[in-house]
Structure 1
Amino acid sequence: MKGKCKVTFVALVVVILLGLLIWILVRPVKIVAVHKKGEFASVLVENFPLSDRGKMNWWLKNQKTLTEQYGIPAPAKDSYFYVTFWKFGDGYKEEGKYDRLCFDDMKPPKNCIEKDAVFSVSHSRNLGTVFTTYEGRYKLQENGEIVAYKSTFEAR
């Protein structure tokens, strides 16, 4: 009887953990706010995809919606833009003594967030579209393929 209880308990824990994992993977991204300054945009998000591939696929799938609903990206005349997605975390905070990202389009004191970038997308005439994540940089090829990108630029 004790063995059967252990098996049932382990099975229940596995089912709960699988349910939690599925919930984390399929929950929708929530855009809390968008702050724009020229061709630069900061998007505050909750529930952003965890994997690099998930982040890039989310951008490709939602780029049109982001343009229609939020006006981003807003490219400069030379087609350059830079969009950074920030984890909203505990919400807006005062600047305080910390190195926080503060937004000029909001009145202080609570107009700052913790600097916790989860993803960025940039586009230029020379490089095309480049995705930046914790794990690395990726380039969107003209054929739609996403490949790892290594910059050949060296600072001396």
Structure 2
Amino acid sequence: MTETEPKKPRKKAEPKIPKQRINTKDWRKLPLDNWTTATVLVMFADLNRERFGVTEYLPFRNWNVERGMIKRELDRYGANVMRDVFTEAFETHTPTRDYPILTAGFVISYMQGRIIARKNAEQAEKVRIAAEKERVETVTIDHAELEAWL
């Protein structure tokens, strides 16, 4: 371009629409697909405050270890199973003077195995009962054969 040629007007850039951020710390309203380690940590802090009156949540060993444990279990079992495990742990846990709070690391290390095993056994029992009920409903009795047998 030379100085005599007029400059072409620039096109105005279209305004960027900002992505709507998801508040991952609102664990009561957050869909399970969006749960993160931060969600679980806030859940534990809230439930400890509500149930046990503890104002400060402290991790199991340290923050990085606890975040790693939570992340591994969320990837392994999914948020739905882990939320159920954590909820049941809070329902069954009785605080002591030495252990006044319940941490995610403690639940994962010492309580999760038996809670998941019990839930799996309950689910297997439901499946077995449903199969038995279906089998009983499909059985037909041949009365003539029954009379001959008696």
Q: Same fold (TM over 0.5)?
A: no
Q: TM-score range by the shorter chain?
A: under 0.3
**Given the two structures, how large is their TM-score scaled by the length of structure 2?**
0.23
Higher Rg: 2
Higher RCO, 1 vs 2 (CA within 8 Å, ≥6 residues apart): 2
More helix by share: 2
**Given the two structures, how large is their TM-score scaled by the length of structure 1?**
0.22
